[in-house]
């Protein structure tokens, strides 16, 4: 039995973080649909499960890994944005090299209106 399954899964993409997110999203939609008595919401959850199964059984590894990489970058951007300490720091992005850096707010005394990138030394 295990040999047949192993042979079937040979060359398939399998499980990744986007797949886990699809399963969690499907379960959350199903639960919310039942708690809030919204039938259309709980009927939307099988779409997420079907997407997970299609990705899991796909043989296009490059395309699935690209989708996963885009998802991870998007999720990390959201996580970084939510974890910023806005009370103590100002956050800037260099327009030339796109480096993100922060400057403590208490060092703003005597700080000019120009900012200097720590990586490329660009002033703006």
pLDDT in tens, 10-43: 878 888 999 999 999 999 999 999 898 888 888 8
| pTM attached to this predicted model | 0.65
Q: What is the extent of the structural domain holding 96? A: 86-124
97 and 65 in a single domain? The answer is: no
77 shares its domain with 91: no
More confidently predicted of 97 and 5 = 97
- Do 74 and 100 have their domain in common? no
- Beta strand 100-104 with 89-93 is antiparallel
Across 92-107, average pLDDT: 83
What's the total number of domains in the chain?
A: 2
Q: Tell whether 27 and 60 lie within a shared domain.
A: yes
- What mean pLDDT do residues 109-123 have? 74
The fraction of the chain above a pLDDT of 70, given in percent, is 94
In this prediction, what percent of the chain has a pLDDT beyond 90?
35
């Amino acid at each position: 039995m295990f040999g047949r399954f192993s042979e079937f899964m040979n060359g398939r993409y399998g499980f990744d973080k986007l797949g886990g997110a699809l399963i969690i999203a499907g379960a959350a939609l199903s639960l919310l649909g039942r708690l809030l008595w919204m039938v259309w919401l709980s009927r939307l959850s099988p779409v997420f499960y079907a997407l997970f199964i299609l990705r899991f059984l796909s043989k296009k590894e490059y395309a699935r890994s690209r989708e996963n990489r885009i998802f991870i970058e998007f999720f990390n951007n959201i996580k970084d944005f939510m974890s910023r300490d806005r009370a103590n720091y100002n956050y800037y992005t260099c327009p030339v090299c796109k480096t993100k850096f922060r400057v403590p707010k208490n060092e703003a005394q005597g700080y000019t209106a120009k900012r200097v990138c720590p990586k490329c030394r660009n002033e703006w």
